[in-house]
Structure 1
Amino acid sequence: MPRPKTKEELKELSLANYKKLNDFIDSFSTTEQNKDFPKGTMNRNIRDVLGHLHHWHLMFLNWYEVGMKGESPHIPAKGYNWRTLPDLNKKIYERYKNLGLDEVREKFNTSHAEIMNLVASHSNKELFERKYYGWTRNNAMGAYIIGVLSSHYDWALKLIKKGKK
């Protein structure tokens, strides 16, 4: 499916990619789910990938909360910009590397549901009109949501497939 342009497309693709990702993870035994990928990636296993996704969910939810109060959120995060994402992603990796897969997966599922509920509460215009909310700057809120849901899930699925070859 092409990049979503409506609320329904956003919900549909986000849920489809979420399901594909979870179904792929579920296709492995518990032992295989917890096994590290070959060396060469920062995200060393499925837990790391899901921790990364969950943390980006939380960052978006923070942007939303701060922005909807009329304030300007730190995007992507305080002390970081889009050029310093590798440093931010290392920090995210460190935060989740000592948690178990089940705990991280539960956090991921919960934060996914929070964003899906947020999507459901907004109109097409609110989601897809650029600059509708000042905090989204030159973007539409939906662009950020696509980035932390459907597109990010597609990235995660490809990374896990590569790591499981």
Structure 2
Amino acid sequence: MPRPTTKSELLKASEKAFGELMEMIESMPLERRNAEFQPGTMNRNIRDVLAHIHHWHLLMLDWHEQGMSGTKPEMPAKGYTWRTTSELNRQIWNDYQDVDLEHVLQKLKRSHDAVTSIILQYSSDELFEKKRYFWTGSTSLGAYLTSSTSSHYAWGKKLIKKGLGTSK
């Protein structure tokens, strides 16, 4: 699916990808949901993947709050740069090791709703005009929201399938 360029496309892509991700997980038997992935990735199970997506939602929510209040947010997070994203992702992984899958699912659904509420606040022009907001740099708010939603959900679905060794 091409990257969204309008509000309606962004909402549709986000909801479709999120729905597919949730349907895939919720259709699995409980033991499969908690199964360890095949070796080769930092995220070792479904919980790890969903916690990663949830935490990036939280980052997006924070960037938006700070940016719209007139402050340039530290991106991707305080103490990290885009070049050290792998270190940030490792920290996110560590932070959720004691949280069970059901709690991560609840958190993810709430953070998805919160990010969706941001999308709903803006027009297509406000979302997709590049450089409209100082804190988004040379890109658009919509590009950040696409990365935080549909693109991340598709990544998660693909990683889960690969990790579990399934093509379904």
| 1:79 to partner: Cα distance | 1.4
Q: Answer yes or no: is 1:59 the counterpart of 2:59.
A: yes
Q: TM-score, normalised by structure 1?
A: 0.98
What are structure 2's unaligned runs of at least 5 residues? none
Q: Which runs of 4+ in 1 moved over 2 A?
A: none
CA distance in 2, matches of 1:66, 1:118: 13
**Residues 58-106 of structure 1: per-residue CA shift (max 9 Å, x gap):** 0000000000110100111111111111100000000111100000000
The alignment covers a number of residue pairs equal to 165
CA offsets per residue over residues 4-35 of structure 1, 9 Å max, x none?
Answer: 00000000000000011111111210111011
Deviation larger for 75-84 or 10-19: 75-84
- Quick one: distance in 2 between partners of 1:40 and 1:123? 41
State the identity %.
47
Unaligned runs of 5+ in 1: none
Alignment map for 1:65-76 (pairs within 5 Å): 65-76=65-76
Deviates more, 1:55-64 or 1:18-27: 18-27
TM-score by length of 2: 0.96
Q: Matches of 1:95 and 1:61 in 2, distance apart?
A: 18
